[in-house]
Structure 1
Amino acid sequence: MLSSATSRFLRQTGVSAQRYYSSGAAANTLLFVEHKDGVISNATLNALTAANQLGGSVTALVAGDAPDAIAKSIGDYQGVSKVLTATDASYEKNLAEDVTSLLLAVQNKYNFTHIVGGHTAVGKNVFPRAAALLDVAPISDITAVESNDTFVRPIYAGNAIATVKSNDSVKFVTVRGTAFESAAAGGDAAAVEAAPGADKVGVTEWVGEDIQKSDRPDLGSASRVISGGRGMKNGENFKLLYDMADKMGAAVGASRAAVDAGFVDNSLQVGQTGKIVAPELYIAVGISGAIQHLAGMKDSKTIVAINKDADAPIFQVADYGLVADLFDAVPEITEKL
């Protein structure tokens, strides 16, 4: 039984509960496309790979102030059979209430079996909201697709792996980007059509953003990452890591302890409550290795730990460990690079 609040929202957005609960529709997937400054996000391309593994057709939804160029671009990726575009300034910044209303309007018309997106700040904001309004359980942060109703996802900060089977008629799924390769371009150009109109909820408005710009690689997609922890002692000492990163072409990250201490901006946080990374090389400097941090980086191909505490938990997951004072070791390594 849907709550009165949910029923009211469904009426406002034009979604029929009877239509939603109907069964027997052919399997088909809606991919929510995140983009910024004319570029499709890496998380979306990873999610497309997962969507293709579900079988059946994939329809991409592109929303924004001017979505046509992005729609053409995503339509050229393998597996995408159709692209829906929703043009409105409120979608450009992915305001959760308005995007949720759009998803429900699209679902009401097309009756998708799966709605898939990246496990990003946007995905974590929108997908549970939309799933709750349709009275289904979202399946978040999946790392594998076993079938179109069975998924694998980490729980307990990655210390256990759950295999989840969903009997819901529509499955809202967010995808861990580091667990899937990016989808390949080179498919047939997909047809583009307008998405159905959706009511604007209008309870929030975009005020502004403060973007931290850097010439270094993006932390979420870098092939090399150097992270510092509480052992760095203060923010000024992170210059040691910046100097090393510049020589290696690496991104710089940090543990939550370093962020909470004010050493660096929280955009650099790696861990369960920060960014999930899986680079070819991860260097942990002055990081003890709390499970929350390990959850964000233990899928890295090669892990190097530098810590003066030989009993630090980080050494249990490291491929290479150096027991040394970081203030001696890091400058020496940087000099020899």
Structure 2
Amino acid sequence: MIVAEHLEGKLNASTAKCVSAAQALKPESIDIVVLAADPAGVAAQAAQIAGVNKVLAVANAANANAIAQVQAPQVAALAKGYSHVFGPSTTFGKDLMPCVAALLGVAQVSDVMAVEGSHTFKRPIYAGNAIVTVEAPADHAVVATVRTASWPEAAGGGSAAVEAASVDAALPSHTRYVGLAAGKSDRPDLQSAKRVVSGGRGVGSQENFKIIYDFADKLGAAVGASRAAVDAGYVPNELQVGQTGKIIAPELYVAVGISGAIQHLTGIKDAGTIVAINKDGEAPIFEIADIGLVGDLFKLLPELETALG
């Protein structure tokens, strides 16, 4: 069973990535559960993912917003009879799945990046510098989060059955939704963008970050940043890429003025092509970059923009 992530009626791409991870288990069937006040639209989107057997639509006004403490008892109740319960290793999944695991009395397997067997998985440790193989006990359900950067989206074109499901679970009232503060941007979402341009401490200031935004717009890319740039106040923290930020896997990642601390490299190691621009030719980022440009970013970026037409 996979718990769908969605917002404002749109299914998040992380759900299809969880399906890919589930398919690696070669299960008898894969079901997706959609928790919402009105799940019909999201359930219809989930039903189109290839390889899905059925979609369980749970309608409850309490599910209007994704609150882990409210959704976890419902997921735990629905989990009976399932061998595995997967959620994405996103903010949503990291919040929800540990609560589900606790209610089921099992230890969670976090950040699954490879499936070795029905209860054997690989996951990163030490900021992604080592990969550990973990084995979950075979006598109870496996609750896991799926490292979305390590899995492709499952194909579309499916036509799974959608079933209305009712859940008999006591929902807590001590945790309630107050509001969502989110930055508005016309640029692609950082978590799912195919192209990302990130700036680091080398950009120098909040005002100078305009050069990163301009270059990203030229590429049709999302904008990211290193922790150093966020801590310096150049950009808001929702743009942070790395171990304590977002783990991403774009087709193209351009790192501008980023030295390449190990925590940052953790967030981008699954990127397709990594381009580094830095005036320090000894910067660690060049060790993993596919293409490196040593030079002044304020000179190179405008030249690249011109070359892009």
TM over 0.5: yes
Partner of 1:200: 171
1:248 aligns with 2:219: yes
1:98 aligns with 2:98: no
1:85 aligns with 2:21: no
1:150 aligns with 2:142: no
Secondary structure (helix, strand or coil) at the match of 1:277 reads: coil
Partner of 2:272: 301
* Structure 1 moving runs of 4+ over 4 Å: none
1:313 aligns with 2:293: no
Q: Is the 8 A contact 2:252 2:273 kept in 1?
A: yes
- Separation (CA, whole Å) in 1 of partners of 2:73 and 2:170: 7
2:44 aligned partner, one-letter code: K
Q: Is the 8 A contact 2:259 2:285 kept in 1?
A: yes
- Structure 1 residues without counterparts, runs of 5 or longer: 1-29
Of the two, which has the highest radius of gyration?
1
Q: Is the 8 A contact 2:255 2:276 kept in 1?
A: yes
Match of 1:239 among 210, 228, 233: 210
| 1:52-93 per-position Cα deviation (integer Å, ceiling 9, x unaligned) | 222221121111111012222212322222222221232232
| 1:150-188 per-position Cα deviation (integer Å, ceiling 9, x unaligned) | 111111111001111111411011111121111122233
1:36 aligns with 2:10: no
Q: Is the 8 A contact 2:55 2:160 kept in 1?
A: no
Q: Is the 8 A contact 2:240 2:246 kept in 1?
A: yes
- Separation (CA, whole Å) in 2 of partners of 1:202 and 1:142: 32
More displaced 10-residue stretch of structure 1: 312-321 or 287-296: 312-321
2:244 aligned partner, one-letter code: T
Match of 1:123 among 93, 115, 118: 93
1:64 aligns with 2:36: yes
Q: Is the 8 A contact 2:58 2:164 kept in 1?
A: no
Please give the root-mean-square deviation of Cα atoms over the aligned residues, in Å. Answer: 1.4
Matched-pair identity in %: 51
Partner of 1:5: none
How far has the Cα of 1:191 moved from its partner? 4.1
- Separation (CA, whole Å) in 2 of partners of 1:230 and 1:148: 44
2:82 aligned partner, one-letter code: F
State the TM-score, normalized to the length of structure 2: 0.95
Q: Is the 8 A contact 1:75 1:189 kept in 2?
A: yes
- Separation (CA, whole Å) in 1 of partners of 2:75 and 2:99: 10
Q: Is the 8 A contact 1:97 1:201 kept in 2?
A: yes
Q: Number of residue pairs matched? A: 306
Partner of 1:159: 129
